[in-house]
Structure 1
Amino acid sequence: MGDGLYGYAEHAEYDRLIATCSVRTIPAAWAQQVRAGGTITAPMWGWMGGVAFAHLTMAGDSTASGRFLADHLHFMTARSHLPPPRPPLVRGIGDARETRIDPSILQDGTALWVAQLAVPQAQVSWGDDATFLVDAGTGSRAEALSDPAGGWTVHQHGPIKLWDEIEKAILTWQEAGSPHQSGFGLTVTRDAQEVWLGEPDGPSWNLPA
């Protein structure tokens, strides 16, 4: 059976699927093996360590949609959903600019999860009063820290401006009142998995499905 990501097709369809491992995205087999009107309940985890607890209802067209729950529940992550090895951290490289958000906001669990939606391929670490982001796939990096003169400075290097994407997502979340993960929802189709803020037509981010 492995870690259950392929479900158990022999006895499908199921009324409920409750995952006891955390996943980065909802496995396609789960949606295929739960009947219309059935539910998928799963803790979700990403490469920055942000977590949310999804509760989805299946539609008749093999799509699923629902909201994240208020509960904080986390299990061991499925092995194939774990991140690649993180490259060594390098300080002070790349273009520098001021940032409109305090890097320490990523110490908040919901803010970290929102940032992760913006750059799901990135990993985060903290040290020496700085927040570091690394994308092992592209080599993109960001380092954000307090400026002695006031405010905060970010250095960015590589093809993806990681902090630019995080800054946009955090500001969007703050403008909506900084809701908990339960203020977001998830829609799963055959082609995409989209997290939305507020309602399905609200601001949205694609999971790396």
Structure 2
Amino acid sequence: MSAGERVRARTDQIADLDDGWREAMHAVPRHLFIPDRAWCHPDDAPGYVIDRAADPGGWMKAVYSDAAIITQTDDGATVGKGDYTSSCSRPSLVAAGLGLLNPFEGDEVLEIGTGTGWTAGLLAHRLGDENVTSVEIDRAVFDRAAENLNRSGHVPRLILGDGARGCPEGAPYDQVHVTCGVDEVPYAWVEQTRPGGTIVLPWMPRWEGGHLAKLTVAGDGTAVGRFHAGVVYMMLRSQRWSPPEMEGAYRDSATYLDPRRVARSSVGADIAVSAMLPDVSGAYADQDDGEFHLSVWSDDSDAQVHYSPDYKRVAVLQRGPRDLWDELEAAYLRWIAWGAPDRARFGMTVSPDAQYVWLDTPDNPVKGPNAAPSR
């Protein structure tokens, strides 16, 4: 199968992709933006090395699969295995984000995170090179993206700098397209968007996964919108975080709430917990014989929760000034009391002073785990 045939085969499989973006993906093929040697990271299988020189057919097949291609680890300090720090995102996720933009002809777009340059090329093809500004913080990634874009025949405006500050020199923009995860939305992006313009971003809170959000900028200096598909993106560099080192003795307790339900019941629950406990993170794993372990932590406290099918009660260990499992349990049960709303009912508002998640309408903010919504 030729490269052109693979492009068409892949784009034809992407649901809800409008004709404009489909044509852009045909005209700006992904393989022009992938290095000869990289790491393929499928969503549902182990990752593996792709090498164009050693296996050109396998390389091309991976490039036109619906998988992320990792192009940098550890900010370039290592080669191969390590923390993923730059990639070409899965085509279906790229399509989901671009589809939410829904641009008008002549719209000016600010992209945060150039990466390989592929999405900048897609934007430039649809809107014109002169209407696309893309910001990248990493010099090596920036240089490779420029080369990739030149090879594709597109020359959007590329800026080497911190995407958290946007690019005020070209503001205001009609749309902002973000290709890295953020927990806190930089207000600079709102300031640099025209009233009525949109910001599409991956909201990546500390608790459980990410959510694609589309915010519209209002005339009062706020941006408001809802959450859409689930996503996983690398974090904006200034918002990276890692688990803290903990010390001290644990306090023993127990619960009847199955931690598997808290961790896996619904993405609506994930959003509610993230809104009520924004500084709390978690990780979990299935263990032998049906057992399940959940770890929960904040900057100063942590909890270990262990479920076993042999016991009615679930063992809980907590330490630090906060009882994090108790807080998490209260937040989850509060979501249940609301009727277990799903992701589509939640949204976000960003203002000059704050950011908050709401349920159903912006005047109904999600509060702490022991408080109901405002109505």
1:83-128 deviations in Å (ceiling 9; x for gaps) = 13443699x82241425x3211213461344333333323322355
Distance 2:188 2:304 in 1: 38
Instruction: Tell me the residue number matched to 2:242.
Output: 84
Distance 2:194 2:175 in 1: 8
Counterpart among 250, 256, 267 of residue 93 in structure 1: 250
Distance 2:359 2:313 in 1: 28
8 Å CA contact retained: 1:119, 1:162: no
Give the AA of the match of 2:198: T
- 5+ residue gaps, structure 1, are none
Instruction: Tell me the residue number matched to 1:122.
Output: 280
Distance 1:154 1:93 in 2: 9
Q: Secondary structure at the match of 1:22?
A: coil
- 5+ residue gaps, structure 2, are 1-134, 138-161, 369-375
8 Å CA contact retained: 1:24, 1:44: yes
* Higher helix proportion: 2
Q: RMSD between aligned alpha carbons?
A: 2.5
Q: Secondary structure at the match of 1:38?
A: strand
8 Å CA contact retained: 2:187, 2:352: yes
Q: Secondary structure at the match of 1:150?
A: coil
1:154-195 deviations in Å (ceiling 9; x for gaps) = 222211221222222211222233233221010111111010
Q: Secondary structure at the match of 2:326?
A: helix
Alignment partner of 1:133 is 2:296: yes
Instruction: Tell me the residue number matched to 1:174.
Output: 336
**TM-score (norm. length: structure 2):** 0.49
| Bigger radius of gyration | 2
Instruction: Tell me the residue number matched to 1:44.
Output: 203
Percentage identity across paired residues of the two chains: 35
* More contact order relative to length (CA 8 Å, sep ≥ 6): 1
Q: 1:1-209 maps to which residues of 2 (within 5 A)?
A: 1=135, 2=137, 4-69=163-228, 71-87=229-245, 93-99=250-256, 101-105=257-261, 106-108=263-265, 110=267, 111-127=269-285, 128=287, 129-135=292-298, 137-138=299-300, 140-146=301-307, 148-202=310-364, 204-205=366-367
8 Å CA contact retained: 1:87, 1:134: no
Which sits farther off after the overlay, 23-32 or 191-200?
A: 191-200
Distance 1:116 1:132 in 2: 15
**TM-score (norm. length: structure 1):** 0.83
Distance 2:332 2:201 in 1: 24
Deviation at 1:200, TM superposition (A): 2.6
Give the AA of the match of 2:360: G
Distance 1:180 1:89 in 2: 37
Deviation at 1:25, TM superposition (A): 1.4
